[in-house]
Chain A
């Protein structure tokens, strides 16, 4: 059966200033797919994500969202179906955690009751229930990160159970978040994907990425050097080539996902 792609990038090259950061890269993302972006610092993961969000216009090539050129989408309509979490967010004003999370519903007109339910759920997922009325600026770094993650999770929630055609783009979403919360959020991302959400996620923790992703795209100096399942991608030769480190890849005891151990 033919499945239309939610996001498709065709032979895109992206420049920042004079420098080409992404070189003729093509990728198709389907409903319910989780794509992990792997690569050393400066490989172009963030650049690719920023191109997929429409922040950077590709110098060549075309990005389509639901079959329509990304930059032709009205911002408001796009915000209803695509949530983005950049690496850093600065907020110096003292909103309560609940108010910050509620900003994720700004593009929607689903009504206050529905919005409140969604917000309650993501606060729970991100372990923010107790902090909901706390001023944002007094949170720790990890708590602030969870707060923004919750805001992005609440943004892609729809009034229908199916999330087909919606996408979530996450750039290092787990920075400074501790392992207990990551587990819970990971499960929630999985259930969102089962409902049809397309997720693109970049993580520097390759093992976490292997556990979470259906497909991994490996970037090296702006080129796509591998795009396959975690089991195929995670091999010692690739780690030597891309990261310059020798690893042994073993199998995770319960999930059987590949696990790289630096030697």
Chain B
């Protein structure tokens, strides 16, 4: 029974008093993971070489760590945080612990947008600010799909969460089949590029891309934290939230826009990265309970941490070949998801 998944599985592992300390520990873990990720790779960098200017390898080390790996780690962290917060927000808005950002069609739309861009313009075309046409296509596709889903759900002025769920499924299916049609007509080179892009990867990271993702990430985090109380109350249902003084329509519209923009941007920069939006909110809930006051910062930290680790594994495990990070997150995510399903079943 899926609805039981939202339940705290046994008891919360940490008490309310120790929650701030645990958040600090997560932050420390994130820093350690980031430093680890900066120093490991095809070419392991010795931390001394980095700061010892007399060392002959110093310049090389500096270039690898700061110019190549730093933007990649930052991008991984931001994308991970966006997907995790997006997951938390979607699960609250849909009042369903199985929701994730792709439910509003954003991922499928972005995927289709990217395929279109690859087939029509070839991926090498450079757009604005070193963003490829693929990124722009993905961003536009994600936003367009979300807009379509939202319009369908709002038919007749009355918004319905279950209609939105169904509209999301329909739009995702539609985008999927149009995407398949693209695949059918694409030549071999384009086909390989499309499927690689779909697996998700952060190999094109640079500081411009980091800058582009930072804005939506900050806006999403701020919006989610600002509405943390409303998100809690909205778990009781729309009318109950209204009785408790929450302008449900305004909060929901604002948050869906923030999630759509942030997730579209992140998909545009990192491809579709599976499972973070679904499993990270669950992990955070296991640690902190369901209140959004702690859930939002905890999910952001855990999401960033997981994607940085997954990306580091992806680029080191088969050196010199780089795996797309999306493969690793799914490989890590599916077993955990099955474990949750299994645990959830005990309460039925």
Q: Is there an interface contact between B290 and A94, defined as CB atoms closer than 8 Å?
A: yes
User: Is the CB–CB distance between B239 and A86 below 8 Å?
Assistant: yes
B27 at the interface (CB under 8 A from A): no
Partner pick for A107 among B245, B289, B290, CB 8 A cutoff: B245
| 51-99 of chain A: CB within 8 A of chain B | 53-55, 75-80, 82-84, 86, 89-96, 99
Query: A53–B243 contact, CB under 8 A?
Result: yes
- For residue A235, CB closer than 8 A to chain B, the reply is no
Q: How far is the CA of A12 from the CA of B58 in the complex (A)?
A: 82
- Which residue of chain A lies nearest to B1 when distances are taken between CB atoms in the complex? A92
Interface of A is mostly: mixed
Contact A90 B237 (CB under 8 A): yes
Contacts of B218 in A (CB 8 A): none
Knowing A106-B245, A135-B7 are in contact, say whether A89-B237 is a contact too (CB < 8 A).
yes
Expressed in whole angstroms, the minimum distance between the Cβ of B251 and any Cβ of chain A is: 11
What separation, in Å, do the CA atoms of A78 and B241 have in the docked complex? 12
Which residues in A have their C-beta under 8 angstroms from that of B233? 103, 106
Q: How large is the interface on B (under 10, 10 to 19, 20 to 34, 35 or more residues)?
A: 20 to 34
Map CB proximity to A onto B303-327 as digits: 1 under 8 Å, 0 otherwise.
0000000000000000000000000
- Distance to closest chain B CB from A23 (angstroms): 24
State the CA gap A77–B243 with chains docked (Å). Answer: 10
Tell whether A211 is near chain B: CB-to-CB under 8 Å.
no
For chain A, the bracket of interface size reads 20 to 34
**Residues of chain A lying within 8 A (CB to CB) of residue B235:** 91-93, 95
The reply to whether A86 and B229 form a contact with Cβ atoms under 8 Å apart is no
Are A78 and B289 in contact (CB-based, < 8 A)? no
Chain B window 260-286, contacts with chain A (Cβ cutoff 8 Å), 1 for yes, 0 for no = 000000000000000000000000010
Give the residues from 1 to 41 in chain B that come closer than 8 angstroms, CB to CB, to chain A: 3-4, 6-8, 11
User: CA–CA, A107 to B347, complex, Å?
Assistant: 33
In the bound complex, how far is the Cα of B294 from the Cα of A99, in angstroms? 14
| Residues A92 and B240 in contact, CB atoms below 8 Å apart | no
B297 at interface, CB cutoff 8 A? no
Q: Given the interface contacts A89-B236, A99-B291, A106-B233, does A94 sit within 8 Å of B243 by beta carbon?
A: no
Residues of B within 8 Å of A77, CB to CB, are: 245
Instruction: Tell yes or no: B97 within 8 A of A by CB.
Output: yes
**Within the assembled complex, what's the spacing in Å between the Cα atoms of A54 and B289?**
33
Answer yes or no: B206 CB below 8 A from chain A CBs: no
Asked if B59 is at the interface (CB within 8 A of a chain A CB), the reply is no
Give A157 to B236 CA distance when docked, in angstroms. Answer: 20
A102 to chain B, nearest CB (A): 9
B246 in the interface (beta carbon within 8 A): yes
A80 pairs with B245, CB closer than 8 A: yes
Most buried by B among A53, A55, A92: A92
Contacts of B237 in A (CB 8 A): 89-90
Among A53, A84, A93, the residue within 8 A (CB) of B97 is: A93
Distance in angstroms between the alpha carbons of A94 and B347 in the assembled complex:
13
Name the contact of B232 in the complex, choosing from A75, A103, A155 (C-beta under 8 A): A103
CA gap between A215 and B233 in the complex, in Å: 33
In the complex, what's the smallest C-beta–C-beta distance from A17 to chain B, in angstroms? 12
Answer yes or no: B226 CB below 8 A from chain A CBs. Answer: no
Judge whether A103 and B236 touch: CB under 8 Å.
Answer: yes
- Scan A136-167; emit 1 where CB is below 8 A from any B CB, else 0: 01100000000000000001000000000000
Contacts of A137 on B, CB cut-off 8 Å? 4, 6-7, 347
Determine if A222 is an interface residue (Cβ-Cβ < 8 Å): no
Distance A80 CA – B232 CA, assembled complex (angstroms): 18
Are A94 and B8 in contact, with the CB atoms below 8 A? yes
Chain B residues with Cβ below 8 Å from A96 are 289
Which residues of A have CB within 8 Å of B290?
Answer: 93-95
Taken together as a complex, chains A and B put the C-alpha atoms of A83 and B95 apart, in Å, by 22
A92 in contact with B245 given A86-B240, A99-B291 (CB within 8 Å) = no
Q: Which residues of A contact B291 (CB under 8 A)?
A: 95, 99
Q: Does B96 touch A at the CB level, under 8 Å?
A: yes
Contacts of A55 in B (CB 8 A): 239, 242
Any A CB within 8 A of the CB of B204? no
Whether A89 and B240, one on each chain, are in contact in the complex, defined by CB atoms closer than 8 angstroms, is: yes
Chain B proximity mask over A179-223: 1 for CB below 8 Å, otherwise 0: 000000000000000000000000000000000000000000000
Say whether A78 contacts B95, CB under 8 Å: no
Complex alpha-carbon distance, A231 and B289, angstroms: 50
In A39-57, which residues have CB < 8 Å from any B CB? 53-55
A91 cross-chain contacts in B, Cβ below 8 A? 235-236
Closest CB of chain A to B184's CB: distance in Å?
A: 41
Question: Given A54, A95, A99, A155, which contacts B244 in the complex, CB threshold below 8 Å?
Answer: A155
Nearest CB on B from A234, distance (A): 31
Provide the bound-state CA to CA distance between A104 and B243, in Å: 10
| CB-defined contacts of B247 to chain A, threshold 8 Å | 75-76
Inter-subunit contact B240/A135 (CB<8 Å): no
Residues of chain B lying within 8 A (CB to CB) of residue A138: 7
Q: Is the CB of B97 within 8 A of A92?
A: yes
A155 to B233 alpha-carbon distance, docked (Å)? 13
* A54 proximity list for chain B (CB < 8 A): 242
Nearest CB in chain B to that of A53: its residue: B243
Interface digits, B216-240 against A, CB 8 Å rule (1 contact, 0 not)?
0000000000000100110111011
| 8 sample A-B contacts, Cβ–Cβ < 8 Å, listed by A number | A55-B239, A77-B245, A92-B7, A93-B290, A99-B289, A103-B232, A106-B245, A137-B6
Extra inter-chain contacts (9) besides given A103-B233, A106-B233, A106-B246, CB under 8 Å: A55-B239, A90-B95, A91-B235, A94-B290, A99-B289, A104-B244, A106-B244, A135-B7, A155-B244
